[in-house]
Structure 1
Amino acid sequence: MQKEYLKAFDEIQETLSAFYTKYATDKNVTYAEAQKQLNAFDFASYGSRMETLKRRAVATNNPFVIAEMQRLYQSASVNRFNALLSEIDAKVLLLGYSQQLTMEEILSETFENTLYSTAYTMAIGTGVGVSFAKIDHSAVELAIKYPWSGAMFSDLIWDNKVKLTKEMKSTITNGLIKGSSVQRMSRQLSGNMDSSYKDSLRLIRTETAYVVTEATAQGYEKLELDSFVFLGTLDSKTSKTCQSLDGKIFKLKDKQVGVNCPPMHPNCRSAISPYFPDIELRERRARDVQGNSFIVPNMNYEEWASKYLK
C-alpha cells in the first residue's frame, strides 16, 4: 500500500511541478494567475492528460471509478486552477481504486488463512480434526464486505480519499494565496498524503482484526465449539475497554463485534481463544514497556497489571 501512495504522490508532484513551470513568475504562481482561463493549447494539453487518466479508469471496469472520472473531466471549468485540481483528484481516485483492490486481496487471504489455521491449531491441540470443504469465495467476499462497523470498508476508503482531496485543495488554495513556492507546497501535500496513508493503515489494521476474528469464530462453529474467551493484549497500550473484557467468557451465539468481540475500536489488538471448561490455559504472552514479549502464568489483565505494570 505504501508503494501505491508513493506512486500517486510522485504523479501529483509531477503535475504540480508542471503547473509551476508553466505559470510561475519569480518561482511563484499567484492565485489571480491560477484563475486565468486556459488558452487553446493548454486546454488541449489538459484534455490529453485527462484522456490518459480516463483510459486508466476505464481499464478498471469499475462503474464508480469510471463515472467519477467522467464527472471530473466534465465538471472542471477551463481555468488553470480547476484544471490542476481535477487532474489531482483523478489521480487520487485511481489511488482509491488501487487501495480497494489491495485491501480486498489482503482481507480475503487473511480470512482463508485464518480459517484453515484455526482448524489446524485445534486439531493439533485437541487431537480432534474436522474436514473443511474448499472455501466458497462468495462466502469469503460476504464476510470481508460485511458492514460490521456500520459501513463497508470500501466506503471508508472513499471517505478517506474525499478527505484527502479536500485537504489538498485547501493546501493548494492557501499556497497560491500566500505565494508559496512549489517546494513548500510539495512538502505540505506530502503531509496531506502521509496523514491519509496513516488513516489507511489504521483502517486496514482494524478491518484485518475483524476478518481474523470472524474467520476464527466461523472455525469454532465448524468445530462445534460453544464459547470463546476474550483476550486483550497484556501491555501498557491496551485500551480500558479491552482491559475490562480480558479473560471473560462468552457464548459464540452471543458474539457481537464491538460489544464482546474484537475489534472493539480502531487499531484493536485483542483476539479470541477457544473455551474448554475442562482445560485451563497455563501461560500467556505479555509485553514489557519496550515491546519485548515474555511468558507469564495465566491471569487476566487486572491481575497482570497489578503485578507487572509499575
Structure 2
Amino acid sequence: MADKDKLTYWELRAVRNEQKAHNQANDKVDVITNAYLRSQDYLTNQVDNIYKRYFGDGQFAEEQIKDILNTTVSPSELVTLQALAKNISDLQSKKQVVDYLSALAAKGRITRLEEIKAKAYISVKRAANIELKESTDLYTQVIQEAWNQATAEGIIGDVTKDVQLYEKGYAPELDKTNRTIKIVNPNTGKTITKVKAIPDKEIKTFKQLSDSYVKEALNQRWQGKNYSNRIWNNTDALADKLDELFTTQSMSGMSEYDMARAIEKEFGTGIYNAKRLIRTEANYFHNQTKLDGWKAHKVKEYQLVAVLDNRTSQICRKKDGQVFLVKDAKCDGAEGNYPPFHVFCRTVAVIHFANSPYTGTRTANNPNTKTAFQLKQNKTYQDWEEIVNQSK
C-alpha cells in the first residue's frame, strides 16, 4: 500500500522531470548558440577582409565593385572551401555541401563573390551539423528518461488501485492455503478481487529502450516533419538570406559596419529558430515517449499541467487541469489535447490517478509578491490567477 507522501512525490516528479528536460535543452542551446556565433564571426571576418583589401574607404561605384567581385580567385581557394567542410559529419549536410562545391568546381573559374557566398553556405552548414548532433544527443536522453518515468508511473497506477479499494473500507484477507490475498467488502462479504501472494522480483533498474525504438521515435514526423528536416530547412533559409546579402548592389550600398550588422541580424534569426526548435522538440519527445510508455503499461488517464506564471499562453491556460483518456491523446498543436500545443510550450502531461484521495500540491509563483506558494493539484490556471490578483 502506497502512502500519501509517495503519491504526492511522483505526481510532482512528473512536472519536475519535464523541467529537467527543459534545463537540459538550455544546456544544449548554449552549445548550439556558440556554434552559430563562431560561424557568424568567421563570415564577418571574411567579409571584413574583402572590404579592407578591395573597397578601402568604400568610395567605389557599383560597376567598380562588380568588377572587383567578379575577379577570379586562385584554384587553391576551392581546397580551402573543401577543408572548411571536412568536419561536417551529418550525411545530409555533408551531401549538400559536397553538391554545392561540385557545382562550383564544374564552372572552371570561381569569382570572389562566389567564394564569399560559398563560405557563407558552408559556415551555416557547419553550425547545422553541431545543432543536429547536440539535438540528437538531447532527444535520445529525454526519450530514455521519459520512458523510465512512464514505467514508474504505470507501476504506481497499479498500486493506487489497491489504495483506493482500501480507502473505501474494503479489507484484505490472507488465504494461506491457496496463497492468495482477497479484497473483501466487509458489508456484503463479497470478494472484490484476488491477488496471488507471490512476491515480485526486485526491480533494480528499468529496461533500457531498444535502439530501434529510439531511432523510430527520432525519425517520427510531427506536423509533417521530423526535427532533422526542420534543422535543414531552417539553415537552408539562413543560407539563402545570407546569399541575398552578397550581391554587387548590396555590397556597394553598405558600409563594412552595416554589412556586419546585417550578418549579425540573420544569424540572430537562425539562433532564435534553433532555440525555438530544440525546446519545442524536447517537450514533444518527453511527452510523446511518456504516452507510449503509458499505453504499454495500460495507464487509463492523463492530466494537463501548465506552468503557472504570467508567461503562460492563453492556449495552455484553458487546457490546464483537463483530464483525457490515454487512448484518445492527440498531439495536434492548439487543436489537440496533448502537448506541445505551440512553440516554446511548457505544458506537461502527467498520469491522472482517478478518484485518488491523494491529490497533493504543486508549487506556484506569485509575481506580485515575488514568493512561491502551494496550490492543490486539482486547481487550474484560473484558480492561480484569482489568487494572484487578490494579492495586488
TM-score higher than 0.5: yes
| Alignment partners' CA distance in 1, 2:365 and 2:227 | 30
In 1, Cα distance between the equivalents of 2:140 and 2:151? 17
1:95 aligns with 2:127: yes
| Aligned match of 2:84 | 53
Supply the AA of the counterpart residue of 2:367.
Answer: V
Q: Which residue is 2:22 aligned to? A: none
Looking at structure 2, the residues matched to 61 and 269 of structure 1 have their Cα atoms a distance apart, in angstroms, of 29
Q: 2:312, 2:302 → 1: CA distance?
A: 20
1:112 Cα deviation (Å)?
0.8
Matched, 1:7 2:81: no
- The answer as to whether partners of 1:23 and 1:29 remain within 8 angstroms in 2 is no
Cα distance between partner residues in 1 of 2:347 and 2:51:
49
Q: 1:73 to 1:28 in 2, by over 3 A?
A: farther
1:282 aligns with 2:360: yes
Q: Secondary structure at the match of 1:50?
A: helix
1:176 to 228, 246, 251: 251
The correspondence of residues 72-221 of structure 1 with structure 2, limited to 5 A, is: 72-76=100-104, 78-120=110-152, 132-173=206-247, 175-181=250-256, 183-221=257-295
Is the CA contact (8 Å cut-off) linking 2:303 and 2:322 kept in structure 1?
yes
Of residues 368, 373, 376, the one that matches 1:294 is: 373
Contact 2:144 2:208 (C-alpha < 8 Å) held by counterparts: no
Post-superposition shift, 1:48?
2.4
SS at match of 1:56: coil
Give the one of 95, 99, 120 matched to 1:67. 95
Separation in structure 2 between the aligned mates of residue 113 and residue 84 of structure 1, nearest angstrom: 44
Cα offset, 1:236, TM superposition? 2.0
**SS of 1:35's equivalent?**
helix
Q: Distance in 2 between matches of 1:104 and 1:273?
A: 24
1:219 partner letter: G
Match of 1:306 in 2: 386
Supply the distance in 1 between the matched residues of 2:371 and 2:272 (Cα, whole angstroms). 24
Structure 2 CA distance for partners of 1:92 and 1:141, relative to 1, 3 Å: same
**Residue pair 1:284, 1:297 contacting (<8 A) in 2 also:** yes
How far residue 216 of structure 1 moved from its aligned partner, in angstroms, is: 1.9
- One-letter code aligned to 2:116: L
Q: Which moved more, 1:29-38 or 1:143-152?
A: 29-38
Deviation of the 1:240 alpha carbon: 1.8
Aligned-residue sequence identity (percent) comes to 19
Change (3 A) 1:30 1:270: farther
Aligned to 1:38: 71
Three-state SS of the structure 2 residue aligned to 1:228 is: strand
Inter-partner Cα distance in structure 2 for 1:284 and 1:54: 49
Amino acid in the other structure paired with 2:329: K
Query: Cα distance, 1:203 vs. partner?
Result: 0.5
Within 2, Cα distance between the matches of 1:285 and 1:268? 19
| Distance verdict in 2 for CA 1:158–1:146, change over 3 Å | same
Q: 1:125 to 1:256 in 2, by over 3 A?
A: closer
Q: Distance in 2 between matches of 1:206 and 1:276?
A: 27
> Cα–Cα, structure 1 residues 56 and 262, in superposed 2: closer, same or farther, change >3 Å?
same
Q: What is the match of residue 17 of structure 1? A: 48
Indicate if the aligned counterparts of 1:19 and 1:84 stay in contact, CA closer than 8 A: no
The Cα shift of 1:152 comes to: 1.1
Output aligned runs, 1:252-291, within 5 Å: 252-257=326-331, 258=333, 259-279=336-356, 280-289=358-367
- In 1, Cα distance between equivalents of 2:388 and 2:216: 42
**Residues 144-172 of structure 1 deviation map (CA, whole Å, 9 limit, x = unaligned):** 32112221111111111122122223334
2:40 maps to amino acid: F
1:96 partner SS: helix
Structure 1 residue 206, shift from structure 2 partner: 0.3
How far residue 22 of structure 1 moved from its aligned partner, in angstroms, is 3.3
Does structure 1 conserve the Cα–Cα contact (< 8 Å) formed by 2:304 and 2:320? yes
- Post-superposition shift, 1:261? 0.5
Match of 1:240 in 2: 314
Q: Which amino acid aligns with 2:93?
A: V
2:304, 2:348 within 8 Å by CA — same for their partners in 1?
yes
| Structure showing greater Rg | 2
Once the two structures are TM-superposed, the CA of residue 194 in structure 1 deviates from its matched residue by 1.4
Partners of 1:117 and 1:158 lie apart in 2 by 31
Identify the structure with the greater helix proportion: 1
| 1:191-210 C-alpha deviation (Å, 9 max, x unpaired) | 21112101110100000000
- Structure 1 length-normalised TM: 0.87
Taking structure 1 as reference, are residues 269 and 83 closer, same or farther at Cα in structure 2, changes over 3 Å only? Answer: same
> 1:23·1:33 contact (CA, 8 Å) conserved in 2?
no
Q: Which moved more, 1:199-208 or 1:172-181?
A: 172-181
